[in-house]
Structure 1
Amino acid sequence: MTIQRERPGVTVELIAKAKERVEARTGVVLVPYQAEWGAPDTLVKLATYEERVAETFGEVDTIELTAEGGASILGYRMTNGSAVAASYEQPEALRIEALYPGLRGNDLQVTILASSAEPGKMELQVAGPVRTEKFSFADTQELVTKASQSIYVRVKKLGDTAVDAVSATSLTGGTSGTSTLTSAEATKLFAAVSGADFDTMYLPFDDAAVQAAAKQFMGDRRTQNKKLSTLVIGGKAVDDDNMTKHVERSVAQNARYVVNSAIAGQHNNGKTYGSLEWAAWVAGMIAATPAHESLTAVVVPLKKALKDWGHTEILNALGTGTLIATRDGDVYIIESAVNTLAVVGTNEREDYGKIRVSMTLDQIVNDISQVGKKYKGKLGNNDLGGAVFVSAVHAYMTVREQQGAIDSGWTFADQKNGVGDRRGFLLSAKPLDAIEYFDIDWEVL
């Protein structure tokens, strides 16, 4: 019967998900950004360097910072809705329009001349920041088809008039869609990405009110959408040398699913970033780090910190759940992989204040929930159906224990309380943190 065909799939998928969690580069980071190029107000998957370059020309620093750890990126270009794409037109013949709206389209140049590759045909050349593209064509319709593969432009046929030759002509008319980010843009962003799947979210807003709204948004996703992920925030550049300001942000959040970056200074690439931009790097590292590893003592690509924190400032940061980088010899490292949970609330424990523990909790819930949703409605609400799901989760949890993500002694049981279309299961497991403190007693003989 149908339910029998589903049994192997449930177990195999959960095992596959468990094994993914020890591989780097499996995490997904949502990166909202502003730029003069890219699909406007649209979620775009950017899993590789080539995809990032095609979508952003590699010019968005926060995306490149996020990608350094190897995580996949879910980009979302924020615009104010007024961006216009640059274009070039030959009346009654064709219109060449930039693939995306924004000022960057004005930098593209088109040349139309006799084709050297295919004698008897014309050739469109599009010069841009990545490469120069060339498309040979016998007629406008052929050009429309071939240019659909361009990373720069799209061509529209306007009529049957022959296409004229033209040399190095820039597209014109592109207008910007960027503006100072406001709470209205944040509200629009939250609505647009609410249903997306991602492990961490970088927030490009330093306004305290927006950060509070973002925390609420992430909390609502957890309770209403059953999508668990971590928010990473930073602060205003003018306050980045003030630990009191960093601490205030952490205290205002106080949640295991919010990480507050206080890293600021010159990156190894020579550029200087504030804590708001460095938060993108942190988000990428959190998502890319395998489940059995901690971010504590990870080397930060920081050439020179804006400020080297003193002992008291470091203790204040750790006590309030503020993520900082401290000098350790010739490099900077993450002092301790903490989130902003500092005051433990209902159903929380002290170890939830560590990123590794919190991410393990979220990963397990997300993995089991995602597979459970795929197979909901396919298992009968009886002991046999419950046993199938329990078997699948047992296989998954066994792999997580072998990875070192959870301790031994875990259980997952069917509560056998199925009524109608609902059934309860109980998971008991202890996520493992990493050893950060080594207390050694030396007995001198």
Structure 2
Amino acid sequence: MAIQRERPGVTVEMIAVAQERVLPKSGVVLVPYQAEWGAPDTMVRMTGYDERVAETFAENDVIELAAEGGATIIGYRVTNGAAVAASYEQPDAIRIEARYPGLRGNDLKVSISASTAEPGKQELQVVGPISTEKFSFADAAELVMKTKQSIYVRVKKLGDADIADVSLTSLSGGVTGTAPLTSADATKMFTAVSGADFDTMYLPFADPAVQAAAKQFMSDRRGLNKKLSTLVIAGKEADDDNMVSHTERSVAQNVRYVVNNAIAGEHNNGKYYNSLQWAAWVAGMIAATPAHESMTGVVVPLKKAKKDWGHTEILQALSTGTLIAIRDGDVYVIESAVNTLSVLGPKDREDYGKIRVSMTLDQIQNDIQTVGKKYKGKLSNNDIGGATFVGAVKAYLEVREQQGAIDTGWIFEDKKNGVGDRRGFRLSAKPLDAIEYFDVEWEVL
């Protein structure tokens, strides 16, 4: 009888996924951004600083803000389609072109001279903002191959003419693809990222109509694609000191999978960011924070807020599900880690209004669905196949219980109703909220 090697892997996979959920890198945040460098209208995964340097020169503020908590970044550079890459060309020989289109490519400089590392060869030097790259080559074909590793340029062979030496020369002809964002840009972006897997999504649009469309987009992903994630929004810079504007935005959303940011002010790095930019930091922190931990009381790297909220404004924010930072001694902290759910629907509970609870619900469903999809078609639709999947998910839930993400007493069972290619399972678990209010009764004796 053949050994069934796939089945044990289900349980191992589920345990591994559960254990990863306490690591910041397991959280993924989608960050649409505008810049003069980066892959245009394409999703690029960046798991650390080195990858962000290679893709964005680590110069884009919203990318860096989103990465502060340690989450993995999926960057999506939004362009108007008109961007052109800067270049330098030797006719009938080679064309050296900036890796990405945009004005930043005009800052790159190249030179070609005799190689000092490999006598008898020539050497291409590329001077960029991060480092100087050097590539020795005997002919155009070798240069084309070697520069595939460059973070700055790509080389194309145009013909068989000899490659001439050239002193340090700037690339030229780069054209921007950056323009004021429109609703059409949002629609194009939603289509491009609809199938991606991410825990949170930063929305760089303050337009209420686009935010409404984004809410519907996230709802469709949850219902149709079975991809559960959280959207982070904010408002116009002119309204950053107006709590009424912030709360109106929260009320318009009123769902557990949308977080409305009202943090604005000077970052500890000395730069001022409006609430729309700070929303990227919030999205990254939500993705990076393990689901068994709350963001309530987390220190915000805020040196000076645009406005220090008063008691009445704080209560307004809390009652509408608006995320704010308040001064607590020498630092600013998140007052309460809330999402925009404030008026409960028929399937809602009060604790769903907390980011921790909402993220736990989404993470568990996403993890089970992801692993189930991986093993789809590999388990027979009988009690043995059902028991294998139940065992895998139970192993996963045991780890989540140990982490403190869910309470004891959870249930995952096979409904044993398999017909054809369908089978049902029942999950019953209680996500744990965090203690935020401490009521101490003191009896003086």
Which category describes the TM-score, using the shorter chain as reference length?
Answer: over 0.9
Match of residue 226 from structure 2: 226
Q: Distance in 2 between matches of 1:91 and 1:5?
A: 57
Q: Distance in 1 between matches of 2:209 and 2:152?
A: 38
- Secondary structure of residue in 2 paired with 1:5: coil
- Secondary structure of residue in 2 paired with 1:444: coil
Q: Distance in 2 between matches of 1:310 and 1:20?
A: 40
Q: Distance in 2 between matches of 1:78 and 1:181?
A: 8
- Structure-2 change in CA distance of 1:407 and 1:3 (3 Å): farther
Q: Distance in 2 between matches of 1:408 and 1:299?
A: 30
Q: Distance in 2 between matches of 1:372 and 1:399?
A: 18
Question: Which segment is superposed worse, 422-431 or 372-381?
Answer: 372-381
Kindly tell me the number of residue pairs found equivalent between the two proteins.
445
Match of residue 326 from structure 2: 326
Matched residues, percent identical? 78
Q: Which amino acid aligns with 1:159?
A: G
Deviation at 1:141, TM superposition (A): 1.7
Deviation at 1:173, TM superposition (A): 0.8
Match of residue 175 from structure 2: 175
Match of residue 29 from structure 2: 29
| Per-residue deviation, residues 43-69 of structure 1 (Å, max 9, x unmatched) | 111001011011111111000000000
Q: Which amino acid aligns with 1:82?
A: A
Deviation at 1:112, TM superposition (A): 1.1
- Secondary structure of residue in 2 paired with 1:220: helix
Q: Distance in 1 between matches of 2:414 and 2:21?
A: 25
Q: What 5-or-longer segments of structure 2 have no aligned partner?
A: none
- Secondary structure of residue in 1 paired with 2:25: coil
Deviation at 1:135, TM superposition (A): 1.0
| Kept after mapping to 1: 8 A contact 2:291/2:357 | no
Match of residue 157 from structure 2: 157
| Kept after mapping to 1: 8 A contact 2:7/2:379 | no
- Structure-2 change in CA distance of 1:299 and 1:116 (3 Å): same
| Kept after mapping to 2: 8 A contact 1:326/1:335 | yes
Match of residue 105 from structure 2: 105
Match of residue 238 from structure 1: 238
| Per-residue deviation, residues 52-104 of structure 1 (Å, max 9, x unmatched) | 01111111100000000000000111111111111111111111111111111
Q: Distance in 2 between matches of 1:144 and 1:416?
A: 59
Q: Distance in 2 between matches of 1:350 and 1:194?
A: 29
Deviation at 1:389, TM superposition (A): 1.1
Match of residue 116 from structure 1: 116
| Kept after mapping to 2: 8 A contact 1:88/1:171 | yes
Deviation at 1:2, TM superposition (A): 6.8
Structure-to-structure mapping, 1:404-443, within 5 angstroms = 404-443=404-443
Q: Distance in 2 between matches of 1:176 and 1:19?
A: 43
Question: Which segment is superposed worse, 233-242 or 154-163?
Answer: 154-163
Does residue 300 (structure 1) correspond to residue 300 (structure 2)? The answer is: yes
Q: Which amino acid aligns with 1:333?
A: V
Q: Which amino acid aligns with 1:169?
A: T
Deviation at 1:164, TM superposition (A): 1.5
Q: Distance in 2 between matches of 1:177 and 1:162?
A: 34
Structure-to-structure mapping, 1:306-321, within 5 angstroms = 306-321=306-321
Structure-to-structure mapping, 1:46-445, within 5 angstroms = 46-445=46-445
Q: Which amino acid aligns with 2:358?
A: S
Under a length normalisation based on structure 2, what TM-score does the superposition of the two structures give? 0.98
Question: Which segment is superposed worse, 386-395 or 349-358?
Answer: 386-395
Q: Alignment RMSD, CA only?
A: 1.0
Q: Distance in 1 between matches of 2:122 and 2:76?
A: 37
Deviation at 1:7, TM superposition (A): 2.1
Where do 4+ consecutive residues of structure 1 move more than 4 Å?
none
Deviation at 1:119, TM superposition (A): 2.1
Q: Distance in 1 between matches of 2:188 and 2:371?
A: 30
- Structure-2 change in CA distance of 1:12 and 1:2 (3 Å): farther
| Kept after mapping to 2: 8 A contact 1:3/1:378 | no
